[in-house]
Structure 1
Amino acid sequence: MCFDSFEKERFDAFEFIVLIPLPTRSMLLMIPAHDLIAMYLAIELQSLCFYVIAASKRKSEFSTEAGSKYLILGAFPSGILLFGCDRTTTDQFLETSL
């Protein structure tokens, strides 16, 4: 995101200081993840930040609608991923690939 677009769109939200680096850090947490739960937590942290960024324009009803749609539609794959992690016999990546 460019600072010029922030000035043009009049984003004065201080949350962007946290909401931009946090998904990046969660992507970096996925690299050393050796079990499925750590991978799931990193993906969820990243997606929750993106939901908030999508709904960050407070005066627009389209932005609020987009954030709520992403949250609802993101809950289904999250549940499916958790169900798949539960159905495996182990939580380690190395043991599931063999």
Structure 2
Amino acid sequence: MQEPKAVVRRFLLDNFVMGSDADIADDTSFMKEHILDSTGFIELVTFLEESFGIVIDNDEMLPENLDSLLNIELYLSRRLAAAEGSGGTTGAGGGHNG
């Protein structure tokens, strides 16, 4: 299995960045650099939930968690480690999203 950062980078490059030689630096802000708008951000959240089997609660949809590849990598490592430690539950606080 590919590392999460590589999976997310490929998703962003395939869906939001134009140009075959384009890349996204690990610390690039998706919003400040206009890689994602609000609709793209929701698409990213849906992709993360489906790809990694997690539920991202509304209060977790913060730049500190999801606005760069580094932030996503750290967020996913915390979430996936917590899921392993709790017997596989990947939703934060009961798994209700909203």
Do they fold alike, i.e. is TM over 0.5? no
TM-score with structure 1 setting the length: 0.30
**Whose RCO is larger (CA < 8 A, sep 6+)?**
2
Query: Which structure: larger Rg?
Result: 1
Higher fraction of helix? 1
TM-score with structure 2 setting the length: 0.30
